[in-house]
């Protein structure tokens, strides 16, 4: 076994690897960029090495800097985690050339699966079923249109390199193919440096089921059962579970054997995932699943497999990389229970899942038998430089209904203030009827997106509590307790103050009247609410509103008030008159940057006439493309950015004027 390893990654996966390594008595070396100097993974590691600026291309993606850091600290091996350099065959080769061990598959195995078109051809030869489509070298747009026509719409355009939904577009009509191809190639070129694509038949009702495989250097290979990753948006997984609902032993055996054949075909060593797509138009069937790709690394969703199989896959990686055989044979592996994992992101589902930034002024996870994999702490910042994942929440229970109930409860007990999150979306998704009854498919979120992402409007209780907080006038700093500071303005008897609350999708005016030290009346236009504050300790706060009692937590920053109660999160913001985003949100004449990013494409010039909804500027931020469109008809009066410019959040990029303006 190794005595010291370097982890060539950041965030939650770096923290997760560190914890297993330290349990095994292995010293760990972290690497960090300027933006991560005070990050959690740096604090957890035994030592850490600075490797460059915030930009990943100059730090975490620099092969030379990573290897130099390992050599300088006398690490024996490098664990790549997932993302960044984890599936880079040249990096794995350079690690081995430097006399270090790459904790992962061989460079040859990575290359064999690195390009989806070549991988599919290899799998066909190995007897693994593949999705019908075009996987050749021809990339001329007209030729690809012909191939798509031959396959039959809808089709899926996929970058042959990389993954994570980058360079992927569904196309339903021939007339949309050209624009989708251009966008997919542009995104693939930016993400992977390779804009070649393949075309596949898009299955109308598919499920994404993947098999965890593991091989060693002694010729052994096993599978650790399946994960269902069908709940996706933009081809990014949202909630994963293991085992897959409705899976029969016959189909599990067929898929497991196909995955092991795939691994053996490339002499695979270490952890890998063979991803299949299953046509479930007539239910799961062992003759209707197809190979999509193989991820030659540890997957983000690996905790659900660890939960049901009772293993530590990172420990397996370390043991196999150090030359040991697999810890278990296929016959020794069994499924015990049901597991779910939900990915908690800093993003705004109501705005198309736009990534969010901010400082985590409050971060609290449920206690008890719930697994949390996080790469951030309270007080850390979510920056535009990297993926906005806050944490993964994983639960295990004896059966699916119990596990799903545990997942929902765990999400309801999770508290995040300081940034917008997808928590309410995840809670609604966990209760969605088709999913709850075990019938997920990859189109489920898209079909129900409006109901799943609708802005949570605050009810009377939330409005009343927020109004009392605002009326209290206490210092605008995190951690102040309104229970101890509301009394100052009540000393002169019954006092009253007007309050206007601002929240996503609207605002509400009211009047707060103190009826005594712990009683308040909150009057709206057509009703009033009586609120009593209980003088409990700082951990267990309660309010009584119109005869109903709630437990509540309140967190305040200079720009917002966040309430957690009754399983919901409510954000109330204070308006900044200089914030250009306010005008954009109300359909103004300015197009502003929703977050810091890079201007990729400007589609208009000054003086152009544009229509409402027309794409004006394409930005790149947090590993995704954002299309900014005209909020109304008009003429481009001024353009403030060009292609290649970096922008800050709420920067004005473009101004419009009405067509009939002088």
Q: Are 265 and 124 in contact (CB under 8 A)?
A: no
| Residue 451 buriedness (CB in 10 A; 0-12 / 13-18 / 19+) | exposed
Structure tokens of 433?
Answer: 């009827």
CA-closest candidate to residue 216, choices 77, 316, 362: 316
Residue 37 is classified by DSSP as T
For residue 101, the surrounding DSSP H or E stretch is strand 101-102
Q: How far apart are CA 302 and CA 276, in angstroms?
A: 16
d(CA 457, CA 505): 8
CB within 8 A of 82, min separation 6: which ones? 9, 13, 297, 298, 299, 300
Q: Is 511 a catalytic residue?
A: no
Query: HSE on the CB side for 176, CA within 13 Å?
Result: 12
Concatenating the DSSP letter of every residue in 192-242 gives HS---EEEEEPPSSEEEEEEEEEE-TTS-EEEEEEEEEEEEETTEEEEEEE
Burial class (CB within 10 angstroms; exposed 0-12, middle 13-18, buried 19+) of 612: exposed
Q: C-alpha 466: how far from its chain's center? A: 29
Give the residue from 190, 42, 200, 178 showing the smallest Cα distance to 120.
200
Q: Which residue out of 16, 27, 207, 297 is catalytically annotated?
A: 297
Per the CB < 8 A criterion, the answer to whether 535 and 482 are in contact is: no
Catalytically annotated residues: 297
């Amino acid at each position: 076994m190794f005595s010291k390893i370097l982890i060539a990654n950041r965030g939650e996966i770096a923290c997760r690897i560190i914890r297993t390594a330290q349990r095994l008595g292995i010293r760990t070396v972290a690497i960090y960029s300027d933006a991560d100097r005070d990050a959690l993974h740096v604090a957890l590691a035994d030592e850490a090495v600075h490797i460059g600026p915030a930009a990943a291309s100059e730090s975490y993606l620099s092969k030379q800097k990573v290897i130099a850091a390992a050599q300088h600290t006398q690490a024996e091996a490098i664990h790549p985690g997932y993302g960044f350099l984890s599936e880079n065959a040249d990096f794995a080769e350079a690690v081995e050339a430097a006399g270090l061990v790459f904790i992962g598959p061989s460079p040859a195995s990575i290359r064999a699966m690195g390009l989806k078109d070549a991988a599919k051809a290899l799998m066909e030869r190995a007897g693994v079923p593949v999705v019908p489509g075009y996987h050749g070298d021809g990339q001329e747009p007209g030729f690809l249109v012909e191939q798509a026509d031959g396959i039959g719409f809808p089709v899926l355009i996929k970058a042959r390199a990389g993954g994570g939904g980058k360079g992927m577009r569904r196309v339903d009509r021939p007339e949309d193919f050209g624009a989708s191809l251009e966008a997919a190639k542009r995104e693939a070129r930016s993400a992977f440096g390779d804009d070649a694509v393949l075309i596949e038949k898009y299955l109308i009702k598919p499920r994404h089921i993947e098999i965890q495989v593991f091989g060693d250097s002694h010729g052994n290979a096993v599978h650790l059962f399946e994960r269902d990753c069908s709940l996706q948006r933009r081809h990014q997984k949202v909630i994963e579970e293991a085992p897959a609902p409705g899976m029969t032993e016959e189909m599990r055996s067929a898929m497991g054997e196909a995955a092991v054949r795939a691994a053996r075909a490339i002499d695979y060593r270490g952890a890998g995932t063979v991803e299949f797509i299953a046509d479930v138009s007539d239910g799961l069937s062992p003759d209707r699943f197809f190979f999509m790709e193989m991820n030659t690394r540890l997957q983000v969703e690996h905790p659900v497999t660890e939960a049901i199989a009772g293993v530590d896959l990172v420990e397996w990686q370390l043991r196999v990389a150090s030359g040991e055989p697999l810890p278990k044979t296929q016959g020794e592996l069994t499924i015990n229970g049901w597991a779910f994992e939900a990915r908690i992101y800093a993003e705004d589902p109501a705005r198309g899942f736009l990534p969010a930034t901010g400082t985590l002024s409050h971060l609290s996870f449920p206690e008890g038998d719930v697994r949390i994999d996080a790469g951030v702490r309270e007080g850390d910042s979510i920056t535009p430089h990297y993926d906005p994942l806050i944490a993964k929440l994983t639960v295990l229970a004896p059966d699916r209904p119990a596990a799903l109930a545990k997942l929902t409860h765990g999400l309801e007990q999770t508290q995040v203030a300081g940034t917008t999150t997808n928590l309410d979306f995840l809670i609604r998704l966990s209760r969605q009827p088709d999913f709850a009854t075990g019938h997920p498919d990859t189109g489920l979120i898209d079909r129900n997106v409006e109901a799943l992402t609708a802005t949570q409007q605050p009810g009377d209780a939330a409005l009343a509590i927020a109004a009392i907080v605002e009326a209290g006038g206490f210092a605008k700093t995190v951690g102040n307790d309104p229970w101890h500071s509301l009394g100052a303005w009540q000393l002169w008897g019954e006092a009253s103050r007007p309050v206007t609350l601002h929240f996503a999708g609207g605002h509400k005016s009211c009047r707060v009247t103190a009826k005594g030290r712990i009683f308040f009346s909150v009057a709206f236009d057509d009703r009033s609410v009586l609120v009593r504050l209980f003088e409990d300790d700082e951990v267990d706060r309660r309010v009584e509103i119109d005869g109903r009692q709630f437990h509540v937590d309140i967190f305040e920053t200079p720009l917002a008030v966040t309430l957690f109660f009754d399983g919901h999160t409510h954000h109330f913001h204070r308006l900044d008159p200089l914030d250009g985003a306010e005008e954009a949100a109300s359909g103004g004449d300015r197009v502003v940057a929703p977050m810091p990013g890079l201007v990729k494409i400007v589609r208009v010039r000054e003086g152009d006439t544009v229509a409402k909804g027309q794409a004006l500027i394409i930005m790149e931020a947090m590993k995704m493309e954002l299309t900014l469109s005209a909020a109304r008809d008009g003429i481009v009066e001024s353009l403030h950015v060009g292609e290649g410019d970096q922008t800050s959040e709420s920067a004005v990029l473009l101004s419009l004027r009405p067509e009939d303006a002088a």
